[in-house]
Amino acid sequence: MDFDVAAWEKEIGRPVPPLMAKFFTWLAPYEYGDLGYFELAPENLAGGTAWQGMERWGAHTWGFISLPDGSLIGLCEAVQPPAVVYIGSEGELRTLSESFEAFLLAIDAGETETEIDLADDELEAEQVAARKAFTSWLNKSKIAAPAVSGQFDFSAYAAGDPAERRAPPTQQGAAPVMDPAYLDHIDGMGERLKMLCSLVGRTAADPELCAVAEQVFGKAPPQSIGNARHDDSIWLTAKKGDVGFLFSRKVLNPNYAPVSISNKAICPFLEGVFLGDAYSEPVLFGLHGDSLWDTIALRLPQHYKETVGDDGEVEKACTLPLDAARDTELRLWMNHGRTHVCVQIAQGRELARPEAANHIYSGAGLFLQWALENGWLERGMFPGQDELIDALRRREVRPSQLVRLGLTRGLWDTHLTDEPGLRRFAVVYFHNMDDIWINADLKTMFGKRQGQYGHDEPVLDDDPAEICDALFAVFTAQFANWKRANPQELA
């Protein structure tokens, strides 16, 4: 890979850090793909507007690696030591490593969570040789990550928070405290999985959760997730680990409202723990992996579901409620011959984000009115709104009023009752799947115009009662047609 320090410094308008120059000089003789799929690419980001807040952070951040999808890896010098950050082609902004040294060690471990990482069982001879040479270079260069006081949230910084690192809580002496009584109805679950179950639903600031993360992954969980686009969740994994932790700032469950810790940053919840292929401890009935299914089918028939996909593959699934107080569940599924297991917060699927639902032309309110008039509105998801819902049922108020008061976190499929097929249909209908789309039906009925971002949108700025009947006939027909085409979704 070509590297000319003088040309780089001219391009980025600042000195190349000595260690980076040393590494790129060592890397220069290697070909694309030898150490991972990336290219060296100096990128001056000052003055740009392509990403959220770029006019602010671009002055302190510059790119040094280009990935195949057009994303960049950059160095953000707004904090010291400078952090290595991900600048995604779809708007994602997040911190990869707290220092360039830590980034080099992540490359060596295969844990950058980018296209640089290569699967050990798919390496070509040239890649094996390059990896060994890189590990040797790291050792000879005595590369060690500097100690830092906390974590830098590039996403929150990009959205307007100060450039600072947030330290995790003290973990000294912390150990998970469990009351296993809520798992009494679960037969044969291993003690380690019980411990992991006790963590799901906690925030990343929980000392006991931090202690486990340090033990399993060698690092604390993300203390915040900013609000730059598409940064709702972060994975915590280790290449040789047998579990993965998924942290999210956006849990679609009414009991998990976002926990703000600054103007822009949110402390995430541990949304789910996913068991990897190497996990070998008991899950249920003293069993794990593929050996679970025969016993599940025999002993838990009410929770067991088996279907045959379009490709003839048998798919299996089982979901067991765990802790009613925290709305957690154990989910198992098998597809393509592999068994997957996770412990997760039970949550809905998003139909419309808050900013979209609040626009009448999204159809969110009108869809709720249709559901209500069919007896399919989950009233428990709208606490304190009984009088409004009754008035809405009589068409004395507008659906947009319920949206403003009851959908402050967006429209989810769990705002609907569990009528056979309804929730799945709603997901399909709002997301332009199976050749049906609520937006297309609204444009056909009301006409279309160019929206704020250049896309067509329905000409629909009001939701009076007189528009309901003809529109609801369309909703009803789409639902009926979809059910006929997807009988497997009705079980």
The per-residue pLDDT for 96 is 96
Residue 170 has pLDDT above 90, yes or no: no
Q: What integer pLDDT is reported at residue 37 of this predicted model?
A: 94
Name the residue type at position 325: A
Specify whether the CB–CB gap between 203 and 267 falls below 8 A: yes
- The DSSP string of 16-80 is PPHHHHHHHHHHTTSPTTSSSS-EEEEEE-TT--SSTTHHHHGGGEEEEEE-TTS-EEEEETTSS
Alpha helices, DSSP H only, in 253-396?
A: 292-299, 354-357, 364-373, 386-393
CA angle, residues 475, 480, 486, in degrees to nearest 5: 120
| Percentage helix, strand, coil for the chain under 3-state DSSP, each rounded to 5 | 35, 20, 45
Interior/surface letters 202-216, b for 16+ CB within 10 angstroms, e for the rest: bbbbbebbbbbbeeb
CA distance 258 to 203: 10
Q: Over the Cα atoms of the chain, what is R_g? A: 26
- For residue 452, pLDDT over 90 is answered with no
208: nearest Cα among 270, 144, 288, 131: 270
The reported pLDDT for the residue numbered 309 is 76
Residue 39 has pLDDT above 70, yes or no: yes
- pLDDT score for 177: 61
- Higher-confidence residue of 420 and 453: namely 420
> For the chain, what percent of residues have pLDDT higher than 90?
84
For 4-33, write each residue's pLDDT tens digit.
Answer: 999 999 999 999 999 999 999 999 999 999
Provide the β-strand partners of residue 307: 315
Give 420's contacts (C-beta < 8 A, 6+ positions apart).
Answer: 483, 489, 490, 491
Q: Kindly state the average pLDDT of the residues 242-251.
A: 96
The per-residue b/e assignment along 364-386, b for 16 or more CB within 10 angstroms, e otherwise, is bbbbbbbbbebebbbeebbeebe
Q: Is the dihedral of CA 158, 162, 163, 167 positive or negative?
A: negative
How many secondary structure helices (H) and strands (E) does the chain include? 16, 20
Lowest mean pLDDT across 27-31, 80-84, 182-186? 182-186
Q: What does the alpha-carbon distance between residue 88 and residue 93 come to, in Å, rounded to a whole number?
A: 6
What pLDDT score was predicted for residue 489? 86
Using CB atoms within 10 Å of the CB of residue 399, give its burial: 0 to 12 exposed, 13 to 18 middle, 19+ buried.
buried
- State in Å, rounded, how far the first CA of the chain is from the last one: 56
Could you read off the pLDDT of 370-385 as tens digits, one per residue?
999 999 999 999 999 9
Name the pairing type of β-strands 448-450 and 61-66.
unpaired
DSSP 150-206: SEE-HHHHHHT--S-EEPPPP-TT------GGGGTTS-S--HHHHHHHHHTT-BTT-
Say which residue, 170 or 243, is predicted with more confidence.
243
pLDDT of res. 176? 61
The Cα 268–Cα 224 span in angstroms is 6
| pLDDT of res. 180 | 67
Assigned token pair, 152: 């830098």
Query: How much is the pLDDT for 173?
Result: 61
- Mean pLDDT of the 69-74 span: 96
**pLDDT(413) > 90:** yes
Average pLDDT over residues 418-434: 97
What is the per-residue pLDDT for 230?
67
Reported as a single tens digit per residue, the pLDDT across 95-119 is 999 999 999 999 999 999 998 998 8
> Which sign does the torsion angle of CA 342, 345, 351, 355 carry?
negative
Closest CA to 202 of 165, 243, 251: 251
Mean residue pLDDT of the chain comes to: 93
Instruction: Name the percent of the chain lying above pLDDT 70.
Output: 97
Burial of 67 (0-12, 13-18, 19+ CB in 10 A): buried
Look at residue 182 in the predicted model and tell me its pLDDT: 77
**Residue range 156-169, pLDDT digits in tens:** 999 999 999 999 88
pLDDT of residue 229: 64
Cβ–Cβ < 8 Å for 52, 91: yes
Other CB atoms within 10 Å distance of the CB of residue 289 = 15
Decide if pLDDT at 352 tops 80: yes
What would the mean pLDDT of 280-303 be, rounded to a whole number? 95
CA–chain centroid gap for 8, Å, is: 35
Q: How high is the pLDDT of residue 178?
A: 62
DSSP run (H or E) holding 246: strand 243-248
Residue 67 identity: L
**Please, are residues 262 and 161 in contact by the beta-carbon 8 Å criterion?**
yes
Q: Tens digit of pLDDT for each residue in 128-158?
A: 999 999 999 999 999 999 999 899 999 999 9
Confidence of residue 179 (pLDDT cuts 50, 70, 90): low
Q: 453 falls in which pLDDT band (50, 70, 90)?
A: confident
Q: Residue 3: enclosing H or E segment and its boundaries?
A: none
Task: Identify the bridge partners of residue 83 per DSSP, sorted by sequence position.
Answer: 76
Tokens of 405: 């008061």
**Residue 465 pLDDT exceeds 70:** yes
Q: What is the pLDDT of residue 100?
A: 98
